[in-house]
Structure 1
Amino acid sequence: MPKILMLSDITGLGPDYHVGDEAMAEVAIERLSDLIGKENLILGCASPERVPATYGIRSFAFYHTTDKQHRMMLWTKPLSYFKSFMTNIYQVLRCDKVVICGGGNMTSVWPGVLESRLRLLKVANFFGKDVVLVSQTIGPYEEHHRQQVDRILAKARWIGVRDIHFSQTQISAPVHFALDDACFLDHRHSDYSRKISDEQKHFACVSMRKFGGMNDDDVLHVAKAMERVTQANGVKTVYIPHHAPGGVKGDIELGKNISHLWPKGQFHMVDPIPLASELKALTADSQFVVSMRYHQLIFALSIGIPAVGVYVDQYTQAKLTGAFEAMGLEPFVTSVENIDNDLEALVAKAIAAQETFEAAAQKTQSQERANNLRPYYLLSDSDEAERIGNLEGVREVKSL
């Protein structure tokens, strides 16, 4: 069986758990564990301490430093510099293949993540190791990054992306489209998540985020609209945080600041944040979803739950709209500015279209799963790798 080195920006159930990244990593770990066994996997991330307990695989520290920071270490912390350099070589030599799990971190927006990964991939190329990227958003890039990415990813065996159009404009190498890995995350209750579902009974799931351009008034404005639409539909609200640095900030801090808007007993915040598969199970029990978070929409749409997205700017509009369009659905989205006028009607329209949501989810699971599995068969060297070229519906974006 091949030995596989995985890179993912996750923490296990650590205090900086991020639902979207963990959801995609959870899928990748489960698939590769089934195909080649957990003992053949090792995952590098910045906070590896809880990964073995959470996912049952080995882990090592892979810190996100920019090239400039890395060079400075040679003079300020020479032992750390050589340890970092030798760790890349050591871990690459121990493996047969390298996979970068899904996410949006291969971009100049996160230079430390991007540049640290490129340094390791450069080592992998030098030693002739297969490189596979799955469920990525590639770019945007500053020009110096674009040149590095073009040079290093030119040798990648597979570049799997989750957006049809944007990623192909960012690099010269061919990219392959498949739906986001989180679409195929199994939803499984724990005792913790099942208790929430049983106690709340008839509920909607909402997720919020204070995006960069939003102020406190904007947050309250959106929350009030969500409170009105849940009360109008006679459901309780289960607030699902996706990221809470330190376990208390981010979405959880936001949730505490808006909870007073709901009548007593009508608002429940999921705290602490459990595994993504448990949150997807909660989503499956809900009546509908209203979310500013991309992966909360993905959870809902991939299991047939009526959903509405709320965006802040052009980027988040494109991202949320794309989640619907990728599954063949009409985009039920509105902006923070228009939420008062649009949300109630959009939720009503989504609920009325429940059969359409369910049909789209069934189609996704039956027809798109094979596309999404292709890079995992390549990684595992399974017999399926000999047949993947004949799978129907695979779309290589460069040929569009």
Structure 2
Amino acid sequence: MPKILMLSDITGLGPDYHVGDEAMAEVAIERLGKLVGKENLILGCANPAEVPNTYGIRAFAFYHVTDRNFRSLLWRNPLSYLKALLTNVYQVLKCDKVLICGGGNMTSVWPHVLESRLRLLRVANFFRKEVFLVSQTIGPYDHEHRKAVDQVLGKATWIGVRDINFSHTQISAPVHFALDDACFLERRHSDYSRSISQQGGSFACIAMRRFGGMDNEDVLRVASVIARTIRERQLKTVFIPHHAPRGTEGDIKLANGIRQLWPENGFHMVDPIPLASELKALTGDCDFVVSMRYHQLVFALSLGIPAVGVYVDEYTQAKLTGAFEALGLKPRVVSIDDADKYLDALVSEACASREEFVTAARRIQTDAKEDSERPYRLIAGLPRAESKLPINSTTEVKSS
């Protein structure tokens, strides 16, 4: 069986757990575990301590450092420089293939992540190891990064992307579309998540985060509209945080700042954050979802749960809209500036169209699942099945 080196921006369970990244990694690990055995997998990430306990695979420390800072190590701390360089070479030599798991990290927005991955991939190219990327958003890039990505990823065996209209414009190599891997994450209740679901009464799930230029007033204004929309339907609210650095910041800090907008016992925050598969199971038990987070929409839509997205800017609008379009659904999204006018009507429309959501969810579990599994079969050395999910008659797209 081939030995696979995986790169993913995950931590396993812990205070820096990020639901979206972990959801995609969980799918990749489970799929490859069945195909090649978990003993043949090793994952590089910045915080590897909890990965073996959470996912049952080995892990090593792979730190995200820009090229400039990495070069400066040669003078400031030559032993650290040499150790990092040799770690890349050692891990690549031990593997047969390299896989970068899903996410939006191959972009100039996070140069430290992009450049550190490109350094390892150059080593993989030098030693002629096959390289695969799955469930990615590629770009955007500045000029220098675009040249580097074209050079390095031009030798990749498979570049899998989760958006139809953007990633293929960011790279010269051909890309392959498939739905976000989190669409196929199995939902698994734990005693913890089941207890939240069964605490009494029907509920809606919400996910919020403080994007970009949002200030406290923006957060409270949007939260007030969401609270009113749910309260008018006589439902409780379950707040699902997706990222809480140090266990108390991020989404959990936001939730603690808005919970006073709900009546007593009408608001439950999921804290601590459990595995993504547990949150997906919890999502599957709710009446509807209102989300500012992409992966909370993915969870809902892949389960046939009516959902509405709330966006902040052009980028988040495109991302949330894409989640609906990828499943063939009408995008039901609204900006934070228009939520007061339109959110309630969109929620009513979504709930009245529940069968539309259910049909789309059933369809992707048949027609789209095979496309999602294709790169994993290639990694395992199994025959490649033909695609059944077209984008303009093909799942392969190349930029002009």
Number of the residue aligned with 1:65: 65
The root-mean-square deviation of aligned C-alpha atoms, in Å, is 1.1
1:87-106 equivalence runs, <5 A: 87-106=87-106
In structure 1, distance between residues paired with 2:309 and 2:181: 19
Q: Secondary structure at the match of 1:103?
A: coil
| Structure 1 residue 165, shift from structure 2 partner | 1.5
The 8 Å contact of residues 165 and 397 in structure 1, kept in 2 or not, is answered as no
Q: Secondary structure at the match of 2:242?
A: coil
Q: Does 1:160 align with 2:183?
A: no
Number of the residue aligned with 1:284: 284
Unmatched runs of 5 consecutive residues or more in structure 2: none
1:137-216 equivalence runs, <5 A: 137-216=137-216
The 8 Å contact of residues 207 and 240 in structure 1, kept in 2 or not, is answered as yes
The 8 Å contact of residues 367 and 388 in structure 2, kept in 1 or not, is answered as no
Q: Secondary structure at the match of 2:171?
A: coil
Q: Secondary structure at the match of 2:274?
A: coil
In structure 1, distance between residues paired with 2:269 and 2:40: 38
In structure 1, distance between residues paired with 2:48 and 2:253: 25
Q: Secondary structure at the match of 2:49?
A: coil
The amino acid across from 1:91 in the alignment is Q
In structure 1, distance between residues paired with 2:389 and 2:279: 31
The 8 Å contact of residues 169 and 399 in structure 2, kept in 1 or not, is answered as no
| Structure 1 residue 201, shift from structure 2 partner | 3.6
CA deviations over 1:336-375 (Å, ceiling 9, x no partner): 0000010110000000000000001001111000111010
Shift in CA distance, 200/68, structure 1 to aligned 2, threshold 3 Å: farther
CA deviations over 1:112-151 (Å, ceiling 9, x no partner): 0000000000000000000000000000001001100000
In structure 2, distance between residues paired with 1:113 and 1:38: 25
Q: Does 1:6 align with 2:2?
A: no
Unmatched runs of 5 consecutive residues or more in structure 1: none
| Structure 1 residue 200, shift from structure 2 partner | 4.0
Number of the residue aligned with 1:351: 351
In structure 2, distance between residues paired with 1:399 and 1:49: 40
Number of the residue aligned with 2:263: 263
Number of the residue aligned with 1:252: 252
TM-score normalised by L of structure 1: 0.98
Give aligned-pair identity as a percent.
67
Q: Secondary structure at the match of 2:137?
A: strand
The 8 Å contact of residues 244 and 251 in structure 2, kept in 1 or not, is answered as yes
Q: Secondary structure at the match of 1:105?
A: coil
Number of the residue aligned with 1:238: 238
Shift in CA distance, 392/308, structure 1 to aligned 2, threshold 3 Å: closer
Number of the residue aligned with 1:108: 108
In structure 1, distance between residues paired with 2:343 and 2:397: 34
Number of the residue aligned with 2:302: 302
Number of the residue aligned with 1:225: 225
Q: Secondary structure at the match of 1:106?
A: coil
Q: Secondary structure at the match of 2:278?
A: helix
Number of the residue aligned with 1:38: 38
In structure 1, distance between residues paired with 2:244 and 2:304: 27
TM-score normalised by L of structure 2: 0.98
Q: Secondary structure at the match of 1:237?
A: strand
In structure 2, distance between residues paired with 1:334 and 1:319: 12
The amino acid across from 1:316 in the alignment is T
| Structure 1 residue 15, shift from structure 2 partner | 1.0
The 8 Å contact of residues 205 and 289 in structure 1, kept in 2 or not, is answered as yes
In structure 2, distance between residues paired with 1:292 and 1:260: 20
Number of the residue aligned with 1:17: 17
In structure 2, distance between residues paired with 1:390 and 1:343: 37
Number of the residue aligned with 1:361: 361
The amino acid across from 1:141 in the alignment is Y
Aligned length: 397
Q: Secondary structure at the match of 1:135?
A: strand
Q: Secondary structure at the match of 2:12?
A: coil
